[in-house]
Amino acid sequence: MNPIQKLYVRMLASVGGDAREGLPKDRDVLGVFARVACHRVRGAWIGWRMKRCGGALHVGRRVDIMNPWHVTVGRNVKIEDLAEVQGLSRRGVTLGDGVTIGRGASIRPSSYYGHEPGEGLSIGAGTAIGAYCWIGASGMVEIGADVLFGPRVVVLPENHVFTSTDVTIKSQGVVRAGVVIEDDCWLGANTTVLAGVRIGRGSIVAAGAVVNQDVPPDSIVGGVPARILRSRKAEDAPTEVAQERTAA
């Protein structure tokens, strides 16, 4: 390897990557250096205003982090271009070491306009939130470590009240119910997770599924509404998901 490639390998290791798939050309390496340098400068500017920043923070272009004093980040957190994070919440927003927030993703526990604050969000180390995901953390959302969100996953931890037909649904308010997604789960593209759901450790949610019921650990689920397709453990027979919840 030439000196530029050696620097590239070191830089990649500093953000949790490796170069086992081969090295790009020198011109491409220099482009990566320039992009990472810009991201780190933006991260340094934002990081000092946060509640806590545990190390190198990478922030892309046109990222909007509101109320950063409610946001805690670990080491090597990456927030990609056009993402937004609304920090205002009762329990804050916490992003663990090595978390990635994908391009155009939104974390929105509270309104921009001073209504009742939401509960907040916690994301464990190594989790990757895909491009254009929406996490509305009005109810508390807890996402474990090493979780994968495909693009356009939606998490909605509240339901609108609609019991009365004499007034508008909008005027009846909402009921908040937290969402828990345990470690080592994979949610496919365009998945929707509704209020009050717990997705067990090691589960897989097929693309396009709407999850309105709890999912046992190590399950593969799919459909609208989602049902168990099979268990990842061969000894477990397929079972139906219990306890239906009202869709948002």
What string of pLDDT tens digits covers the 248 residues of the chain?
666 666 666 666 665 555 555 555 555 666 667 777 888 888 889 999 999 999 889 999 999 999 999 999 999 999 999 999 999 999 999 999 999 999 999 999 987 776 788 899 999 999 999 999 999 988 999 999 999 999 999 999 998 889 999 999 988 888 889 999 999 999 999 999 999 999 999 999 999 999 999 999 999 999 999 999 999 986 655 554 444 343 33
- Domains delineated in the chain: 49-231 (2.160.10.10)
pLDDT at residue 129, rounded to an integer:
98
pTM (two decimals)? 0.81
Phi, psi for 186 (deg, rounded to 5): -130, 115
Single out the residue of 78, 88, 159, 164 nearest to residue 126, CA to CA. Answer: 78
Rounded to 10°, the helix 3-14/26-47 angle is 40
Let me know if 28 is exposed, middle or buried by CB neighbors in 10 A (0-12, 13-18, 19+).
exposed
Spatial separation of the C-alpha atoms in residues 203 and 215, rounded to whole Å: 8
Going by their DSSP bridges, the two strands 204-205 and 158-160 should be labelled as: unpaired
